[in-house]
Amino acid sequence: MDNQPWAANAQQLYRTTVLEASSRTTFWGPTSNFGGNPSDLHSGEKQPGSNAPRPTLNQSSVQRRNGLDRNVLDLDPNVKSHLFDIYLKHIQPFFPVISSYSIQAYPPTPLLEAVICAVAAKHRLAIASWRDLEYTRRFIQEQISQMFSLRAKYEPKIQTVQALVIACARFEILNKDYTDFLNVAITMALMCKMAQDLKLDESLRANEDTDDTKFRRQLWKSCMFMDVLKAATYGHAPNLHQDYWIGLDRSLLRRRETGALSPSDIAFDDFVALACHLERIIRSLYITQRSETSKLLGQITSIFHLLDRCQKLVSSHLHLYDHDTSRALQMYVHNNRLLIVLGVKLSELGEGPAVSELKGIMEQQRELVVHEAIQTLSWLDGELTHSPFTEMGFILYFVSRALLVVVSQLNTLGTTSAQSSPLVSKLLEATESGRSFSDKLLELNRWGVEWYQAHTIRGILGRINVESRAPVEDESQQVPQEVEPNFDELSMDNMWATEDWEALVESCGFDAWIFPNFESTL
């Protein structure tokens, strides 16, 4: 095969887009499209011994781009069936965006099929070729670009909302490189607009409990969950607003009491409840104009009250969940408390008896935040790398926030005379746990959420003061010092060769709420 033009072109293009040789080359290599792999799922219309010339890489892309119907997903049926099976078994249970009812009532469109295949292809158990993944990504980007075309008619559809909410979970499906984050925000806004125009929120207040009402309610909650999580991740205001108790409507509570919900459904409801609480935190403490001190104190008290209720709600269901689900939910609670502490720190409270009482409460909360951050990082292990919550990037956001707390506290204790040795030891163990977790993410050799967050973690570790760092025997394992990035050299051509990612993360203003304001917070 090495003598074939298509193989040489594909191998050259493949090497320029991958950091280094991947352990999944067997499944993701360019030759797997043509039966060169024993695990190849393609039907292989042309036999290897056929005299017909093999299509080149450029010819294949031209045929797909200029086909009779550009809106048809051109994937091998065997590959598509395998990827759908991966999605329904390993992703759908904890992120219920589609269901057996929705597939029948709202048949999947090519865009929804492409998104499902692309997300499933990123899963560690998927057998899919690199060509299939790249073609699917280009297909998704072209379909979404057509929606924003000036000539395109705005047509909100259930299937489009399903596709967009799934795609936003893996931003690499929408983006061309790691500097292109605008697509996620725009796509998220379109998804929320369609969800509102389709009146999915009315399903929360519906008296009947039909299959369609259940599905619409679940889809609305999925939009709420994803919108709030991405708003917190990228530092912009949420598009949707929902009252906390409407998110946990009475019908759902009754179904819990009667046992009508499975543990996975209850877990997703708990995630939505925490997302509603996070949305309240964002709107009250970060994106609104500062109100009067008395009103602000009332909002902070209400937020803490809701946090306690969320924590009790999650704790009452932990016995129903598996190991990874229970830890992911507790990480969410820890992250919400951290954002409350940071938001109050940035608020101008003024003076008064009530303010003095609140400051005393915040001192206790700060200590609790540090211990919860240490606990979050202590839960990182090899199994968590392959959990569904890591696969979709949900908990990686919480890990980076917890590591920021640990590094800030470690720098503070490392430069003062009154050090607490047990606490410093726990902080150092937490940083080592974070470093080990980032190494495991990089070992996956997958561009996307894992690659981005692994380098974000390394950038945070690079902020540790020299005197606070634990001794490292191997110099190659030390976190490099931050270097001012040269933005003239950052382009798609050398995006994989960039060595200044840690500095780029901070210089570009990512995590705008946390990075500039976290120094000396705790």
521 DSSP assignment: -
- Stated as kind and residue range, the H or E segment containing 333 is helix 323-346
Per-residue pLDDT at 156? 93
Contact 463, 434 (CB under 8 A): no
Q: What is the pLDDT of residue 209?
A: 76
Cα–Cα distance for residue pair 59/76, rounded to 1 Å: 17
In one-letter notation, the amino acid at residue 364 is Q
Residue found under tokens 């507790």: 330
Long-range pairs of 261-269 with CB within 8 A, sequence gap ≥ 24: 263/317, 263/320, 263/321, 264/93, 264/94, 264/96, 265/96, 266/317, 266/320, 267/94, 267/317, 267/320, 267/321, 267/325, 267/329, 268/94, 268/95, 268/96, 268/221, 268/225, 269/221
Closest by CA position to 310, among listed 358, 341, 259, 276: 276
Residue 61's pLDDT is what? 44
**How far is it, in rounded angstroms, from Cα 477 to Cα 286?**
37
- Burial of 355 per CB tally in 10 Å (0-12, 13-18, 19+): middle
Chain centroid offset of residue 99 CA: 22
All residues at 6 or more sequence positions from 266 whose CB lies less than 8 Å from its CB, including other chains: 256, 317, 320
Instruction: Record the tokens describing residue 435, joined without a space.
Output: 């470093």
Rounded to whole angstroms, the Cα distance separating 357 from 227 reads 34
Q: Nearest CA to 194 among 175, 220, 218?
A: 220
Q: b/e for 292-326, b at 16 or more Cβ within 10 A?
A: ebeebbebbeebbebbeebbebbeebeeebeebbb
Q: Is the dihedral of CA 423, 440, 506, 397 positive or negative?
A: negative
Tokens of 64: 């797909």
Going residue by residue through the chain, which has 522 residues, state the pLDDT in tens, using 9 for 90 and above.
444 444 444 444 444 444 433 333 333 333 333 344 445 666 654 444 444 444 443 444 444 444 435 678 888 888 888 999 999 888 888 888 988 889 899 999 999 999 999 998 888 888 877 788 888 988 998 898 888 888 888 999 999 999 999 998 887 888 766 566 677 888 899 999 999 999 988 887 777 778 898 899 889 989 999 999 888 888 888 898 766 444 444 445 545 555 567 788 888 888 888 888 898 888 888 876 666 667 777 888 888 888 888 888 888 888 888 888 888 999 999 999 999 988 888 776 767 777 777 777 788 888 899 999 999 999 988 777 778 887 777 888 899 999 999 999 988 887 554 455 788 889 999 999 999 999 988 887 777 778 888 888 999 998 887 555 555 444 444 444 444 444 344 333 333 334 444 444 444 433 433 333 434 334
CA end-to-end distance (rounded Å), the chain: 60
Q: What are phi and psi of 139, to 5 degrees?
A: -65, -45
C-alpha distance from residue 48 to each of 59, 129, 439 (Å): 18, 18, 40
Residue whose C-alpha is closest to residue 519's, from 421, 438, 404, 414: 404
Q: How far is CA 493 from CA 39, 77, 178, 502, in A?
A: 32, 33, 13, 19
Distance CA 110, CA 115 (A): 9
453 in Cβ contact with 475 (< 8 Å):
no
pLDDT in tens, 96-153: 898 888 989 999 999 999 999 999 888 888 887 778 888 898 899 889 888 888 888 8
Cα angle for residues 200, 201, 203 (degrees, 5° grid): 75
Distances (CA, A) of 84 to 80, 293, 387, 410, 514: 6, 53, 18, 46, 38
Which amino acid belongs to residue 14? Answer: Y
Find all residues with CB under 8 Å of 42, minimum gap 6, and list them: 32, 33, 34, 35, 76, 78, 79, 129
Query: 164 φ, ψ to 5°?
Result: -70, -40
pLDDT tens column, 308-334: 888 888 888 888 888 888 889 999 999
The pLDDT of residue 359: 78
**Integer Cα distance of 243 and 240 in angstroms:** 10
